[in-house]
Every structure is written in structure tokens, then in C-alpha cells.
Amino acid sequence: MLTYTPIRTSLVIAFCGLFVMLSALSVRATDDVFKESRELRKRAEKTFGEVNKYVSQLNETERALSSVGRASNRNLKKRYESFSKEFDNLVKEQERATSSIDRMRSASVEYFSAWDKSNGQISDPELRSASSNRRSRVLERHRQFADGLSEIGLELQPFMSDLRDLKAFLGADLSVENVGKAKERIEGSNKDADALKERIERVRKMLEQFLRGTID
């Protein structure tokens, strides 16, 4: 019959305590990654919606600007006011989309950090390897998404600056003659908007794939 000395009893208690602590850490790590996964998905859905709103408003702004370029003396003021209003709305949509993207990026960092910690708690080598490989693939897609956002950012600032310049230029001397001087810039803005929308669409598809769970 096994007898327990005070030292042996202490060791057993310590071992049991360690086991309970490690189990608790494992459960906590799993809960954390699940929580961060839900948070990232929520942020991704929000970003997806805000990006779509920005593109929709971009279309409205460019239509209004093109309308100014075809205006006559009779309707020039009304068309310019419409463009000015749409541009102001575009600035607001840009701010909302940018803010949403920043929040999603923060959630992404937390998610992949929690996933890495959770993998460290998996004792089965095959399961740990499979989870790690999956994490690497998902992380790579998120890096591609981040790179795409960076490229959009490089084009977005000068594009918005050009629109702001057109608004100021036309508003300072609202006349058909002044519109004629800006005609080339207006046409250039339309082309730049199309190029920007193409880049946004590629990134939007990546985001859509993530939301559908089709990363591979």
C-alpha cells in the first residue's frame, strides 16, 4: 500500500496544481483566439461595408464632377454645388473607411497573436503542425491584403488632393470659361478614379474571401 510522506504529498499537490494551471492556460488560450476571431470578423464585416460605401460615393462624386464639365451658364451653379456636396460626402466616407480599416488591422494583430499562443498549447504534434500551417496561410493572405491597402493609400491621397484642388479652382471663379480650363483635369480625375476603383476591387475581393472562409 502506497503511503504519502509530507514531502510526497506536497509534490503531488504541487503537480496537481501545475496541471490545473496549465489546463486553465490552455482553455484561456483557446477562448482568447475564439474571441479575437469573432472580433476580427466583426471588424472585417464593418470594413467591407465601409469600403463599399466609399466606392459608391466615389461614383456619385465623379458623376457630379463630369456633370460640371458639361455644364452651361444656366445650370453651372447647381451642378457645381452638387459636386461640392458629393465631394464633402466622399471625404466623410474616406474617413469612416480609413478608421474601420485601422480597427480591423488592430484586431488582426490580436487575432494572430492569440492563434499563435493557442497553437503552443496543442500537445498533439500533427494537430499543432496543421494549425500552424493554416495560420501561416491565413496570415499570408492578410499580408497581401495589407499590401493592397498600402497601394491604395499611395494613390488615394493625391487623388483626393486633386479633387480638392478642382473644387477650390472652380469655386473661386465659377464660369464656363474656367470649367474649360479645368476640362483636362476633370477627365484625368475620372481616369484616376477608375484606376483607384480597380485597386479597391482587388482588395475588396480578398476581404470577401476572408468573410466567406475561402482563404486557400
Residue 133's CB is within 10 A of a number of other CB atoms, namely 10
What is the CB-side half-sphere exposure of residue 192 using CA atoms within 13 A? 20
Least confident window among 17-26, 49-58, 97-106, 126-135: 17-26
Write the pLDDT tens digit of every residue in 166-197. Answer: 999 999 999 999 999 999 999 999 999 999 99
Write the pLDDT tens digit of every residue in 99-122. Answer: 988 888 888 888 888 888 888 888
Mean predicted lDDT score pLDDT of the chain: 82
CB within 8 A of 64, min separation 6: which ones? 79, 82, 83, 85, 86, 87
Let me know: does 82 contact 203? Beta carbons within 8 Å. no
Rounded percentage of the chain residues whose pLDDT exceeds 70: 82
Rounded to the nearest 5 percent, the helix, strand and coil shares of the chain are 90, 0, 10
Residue 209's CB is within 10 A of a number of other CB atoms, namely 14
Q: What is the pTM of this model?
A: 0.77
Binning pLDDT at 50, 70 and 90, where does residue 25 land? very low
d(CA 76, CA 68): 6
Q: What per-residue confidence (pLDDT) applies to 26? A: 40
CB within 8 A of 186, min separation 6: which ones? 65, 66, 68, 69, 166, 179
Whether the CA torsion 207, 213, 214, 216 is positive or negative: it is positive
**CATH number of the structural domain 31-212:** 1.20.120
Q: What per-residue confidence (pLDDT) applies to 87? A: 96
Write the pLDDT tens digit of every residue in 77-88. Answer: 999 999 999 999
Let me know: does 14 contact 89? Beta carbons within 8 Å. no
